[in-house]
Amino acid sequence: MGRQAPGIRSMRITHDEAYLYLGMELERNFDPKSSKLYIGGDTIPGGDQPVKELAGRTLDGGGLETLIELGKDSESQVKIAPSYDFHQRLYGKEGYWMLPDEDGEGKKDKSPASFHPWKLGISLLMTPPDTRHAHPFMDEKVGYLKRGSGSPESEDFNSLTAWQYNGNVVEMRIPWMLLGFADPSSLQVIDYSPLEDRRTFKTAKANGITLVPWIAEREGKQAGAGGGSAQAAESEAQAIHLHDIVPYTWEPWETVQYTERPKKSYYAMKEFFTGVPDTRNGEQSK
């Protein structure tokens, strides 16, 4: 990770074909009620500064494309930089031009430093000429990270689980697409260039991904055991230098490695069908 970040004791990173995995050890127990954990993602030149989430810190050496936010269950999600926002670029005035003003060009007048939630268009705007009804544009937020257990042996197992914490240890897995990767096997990410024919994104090869972690105390909260408001203020006033952080990179791959894991219902079905008598010999035609 390079230079140690305030409040972060260590950060381990690995990956597979579907996810980027992070395991973090903090200097004190993580409490979503009093603080939030942020991990910024930088892949290519460009990006924005998450001024609100930096909480008084400064980010030198570039901007971020994505931002992982871990806090309360209703808050935990991956956000995307306004200038990089695929949804706004594809369905705003640069593409289909289906977003209302408050979601499109009007956004830049409100809060340019606020990162956007990940959204997915699920219904395009249509106005058939032969009907009196129009189909509105509809989208859904898809960047939320579900907290729980990823172990099949656990009673709380959920295959959609993305993160969990225990004491001062926080673990997560983030889908590649939420980090801006179009093809992680060749380190290809969506770039900032205008859409081709107002419909198609272009890609660029990244050198990996630089991950920038920090902890922000909630308003009115102190740093907790072993700390205090002075320690929190000191850590929040520090500058984060992107060039001091070693990016995480990997070798390209051609073949997907995988392991099969039958669902729980498989064993119930196996038991049922094993007990079904084999009557095929008695039903043969004469």
Burial of 5 (0-12, 13-18, 19+ CB in 10 A): buried
pLDDT at 192: 96
Q: 190-208: per-residue pLDDT in tens?
A: 999 999 999 999 999 999 9
Among 61-70, 95-104, 145-154, 179-188, name the one with the lowest average pLDDT.
95-104
Among 27-31, 87-91, 112-116, 260-264, name the one with the lowest average pLDDT.
112-116
DSSP-derived secondary structure letter, 229? H
- Whether residue 2 is predicted with pLDDT greater than 90 in this model: the reply is no
- Whether residue 234 is predicted with pLDDT greater than 80 in this model: the reply is no
Residue 176 CA to residue 154 CA, distance in Å, equals 26
Q: Which amino acid type is present at position 27?
A: E
* Residue 221 pLDDT level (bands cut at 50, 70, 90): low
Residue 177 CA to residue 183 CA, distance in Å, equals 8
Residue 259 CA to residue 253 CA, distance in Å, equals 17
Q: 18-30: per-residue pLDDT in tens?
A: 999 999 999 999 9
- Whether residue 189 is predicted with pLDDT greater than 90 in this model: the reply is yes
What mean pLDDT comes out for the span 258-264? 84
What's the Rg (C-alpha) of the chain? 23
Residue 214 CA to residue 205 CA, distance in Å, equals 27
Residue 271 CA to residue 276 CA, distance in Å, equals 9
Round the average pLDDT of the chain to a whole number and report it. Answer: 87
Residue 100 structure tokens: 């209302």
